[in-house]
Amino acid sequence: EQMKGRGTRTILPTDLLAVTPDASNKTGFVIVDAVGVCESDKTDSRPLERKRSVPFDKLVGAVALGVRDVDTLTSLAGRLSRLNVEVNDKSRMEIEAAAGGKALKQLINDLLDAVDPDKHLEKAKEMFNTDSPTAEQLRKASEELVKLACSPFDDPKLRNTLIDVKKRSEQIIDTVSKDAVIYAGPDERAKAELAKLRVKTFEEFIRDNKDELTALQIIYSKPYASRQLTYDAIKQLAEAIKKPPYNLTPELVWMAYQQLEKSKVKGAGPQKLLTNIVSLVKFAIGAVDILQPFSETVNQRFNNWLAEQEKQGRSFTSEQLEWLNMIKEHIATSLTIGIEDFENVPFNQKGGAIKANKLFGQELSKILEEMNTVLVK
């Protein structure tokens, strides 16, 4: 029992790596019993994991289908506890959002409370306002705790998120099979097939999600007057294509198009700008004929806008042009700009919002509105 107690102690991943370089985090422990101490139980302690043969997705699905016995709930709590150790804060936030604001640790604690007799007693005392609840009252309290613990798993969004996060956290190491080099060199046919597959997958992703993701709704179908792409919307879009079953990144899709349609695709350049995904989507749905970095599109539209201003008799000083170029660069990387952005670099180094108001006066709001519309349309 003492060894079990030591084995269940937690350790930070960084501390574990210092003593065990081939382990990223502690998810379990092994007791080597050299003298037969563990041949018979000395206490009633049992591990949380009681359904080792049941895959994680089946276990989560079983709870949603109403399988809520002690072994199932403790096993799920154990799996989620391991997952909590393996994933990063970003994945935990993703799970929390899918669970309606309930953190992963809280999901685990609720499952453990649902099978804890002491918690049943506390709940029964609270529910029935008595210090000595009956067996029937304890049963009802237990059912209430089970219902509370399991209700989040009724939502398919949470179940799918947990399964996706679990898959991303897994690393399979094959120590048995041996690889042998059968060919060294580029396989152009295989590269072309892979590029076709990535393009097909990306276009399927757009079709599957055009009514779900805000950025796709705006680019694809919303009327011009209500179009307002935001950085958060395209960030959500970029994160979505990384998830199974798509497993893509904007860079991979861009390279695929470049390989298949060289005459229509310009290099994305060394900068990995998130806004390039806007260009990718528009090219994929046929809204533009040439795939080029979003910043180039913004530059072209900016120059056209300046030419139009000149035709209308509106001229700008060199200092105003410097500010307009900074505004253009900000839109190229962030899609939109507002007065509040003038308090950030590089605008605050040039005097911030106060300076902008002095330079453009009452026209400032109109100019920002025009540039937000014209450069990102």
Range of the domain at 62: 50-169
Q: Is residue 175 in a domain? A: no
Same domain, 83 and 139: yes
Q: Is residue 174 in a domain? A: no
d(CA 209, CA 248): 14
pLDDT of the chain, 377 residues: tens digit per residue: 666 667 777 777 777 777 777 777 777 778 777 777 666 555 555 667 778 889 999 999 999 999 999 999 999 999 999 899 888 899 999 999 999 999 999 999 999 999 999 999 999 999 999 999 999 999 999 999 999 999 999 999 999 999 999 988 876 666 677 777 776 666 778 888 999 999 999 999 999 998 888 888 888 765 444 557 888 888 999 999 998 889 999 999 999 999 999 899 987 655 678 899 999 999 999 989 999 999 999 999 999 999 999 999 999 999 999 999 999 999 999 989 999 999 999 999 999 999 999 999 999 999 999 999 899 87
Produce one character per residue of 129-151: b if its CB has 16 or more CB atoms within 10 Å, e if not: eeeebeeebbebbbebbbeebbe
Q: Could you say which of 275, 292, 309 is where a domain stops?
A: 292
pTM score, whole prediction: 0.57
Q: Could you say which of 255, 274, 292 is where a domain stops?
A: 292
| Closest of 189, 185, 187, 120 to residue 149, by C-alpha | 120
Q: Is residue 178 in a domain? A: no
Length of the chain in terms of residues written: 377
Same domain, 208 and 245: yes
